[in-house]
Structure 1
């Protein structure tokens, strides 16, 4: 797993969001971006994380950040997730793992004695020039916005 680090330029990407609209990194040129990766839509940890970001979305926006959620779920699954919890930010349906691999968050995981490949829950704060400024490796799903706000104060 070759995860992007602070100072790395994020490679451009174009992936569909939950509604089938193409979303590219270049769409956010000149804006600060929070890109959060989660393993699977509508699972308890992912729901807690995304809802926490939703509940603090206005504050994150007031600090100049746009948000982008990414998982390998289908557009339909992302649409259901977004609509059920009324997320105000797009969710990318990265089924081909283009963004997931560009950020280097796909790799070996262990759970209950089983080893498998999957998405590592990580968040990247990207500046206006598309360069990684912070990486959050240990995401606190129920207090994720506080982790982000602490880094940018």
Structure 2
């Protein structure tokens, strides 16, 4: 993957429709008029992804009070997502992208390095999409720990 496949502020956000943890279809279009934080994470119930999801959970009220909605997307199947939601008391939608088509459309699927080893997979990434469907912020290779605090700083909504 090259940087040319990555999204930047000002780009239109690729629309999507995916299943949530309960198997219900959820589309980006369902959030038209709202500012949405869409974050991609590699695998439910793993340490880093749990840290990141719980960070969003713990900051959700504050983010929503500022007009932000949160959606998490991973290659996990709905059953694994439901277990993750239940085990971590997650209160925002997690969406299933097993074919990684949506991740690819956002430039969040490709070559990555982990401990010096190159592999192909999901690149932990976050996007802020305004109410008209335009990318306001695109972050790739984000760190799970402290991610929401950094995102808040980058958005200028530091508490």
Q: How much does 1:138 deviate?
A: 4.3
2:71 aligned residue: 68
Over residues 68-121 of structure 1, what are the superposed CA-to-partner deviations in whole Å (9 max), with x where a residue is unaligned?
Answer: 000101111111111110111010111121211111110012223432210000
2:98 aligned residue: 95
What is the rounded CA distance, in whole Å, between the counterparts of 2:18 and 2:141 in structure 1? 26
What is the rounded CA distance, in whole Å, between the counterparts of 1:47 and 1:73 in structure 2? 13
- Relative distance call for 1:138 and 1:100 in structure 2 (3 A) is closer
Is the contact made by 2:36 and 2:69 (CA closer than 8 Å) also made in structure 1?
A: yes
- Superposition RMSD in Å: 1.2
What is the rounded CA distance, in whole Å, between the counterparts of 2:141 and 2:121 in structure 1? 16
1:53 aligned residue: 56
SS at match of 2:146: helix
SS at match of 2:84: helix
1:15 aligned residue: 18
What is the rounded CA distance, in whole Å, between the counterparts of 2:117 and 2:13 in structure 1? 32
Is the contact made by 2:73 and 2:94 (CA closer than 8 Å) also made in structure 1?
A: yes
Q: Structure 1: any 5+ residue segments left out of the alignment?
A: none
What is the rounded CA distance, in whole Å, between the counterparts of 2:149 and 2:116 in structure 1? 31
Q: Structure 2: any 5+ residue segments left out of the alignment?
A: none
Q: TM-score, normalised by structure 1?
A: 0.95
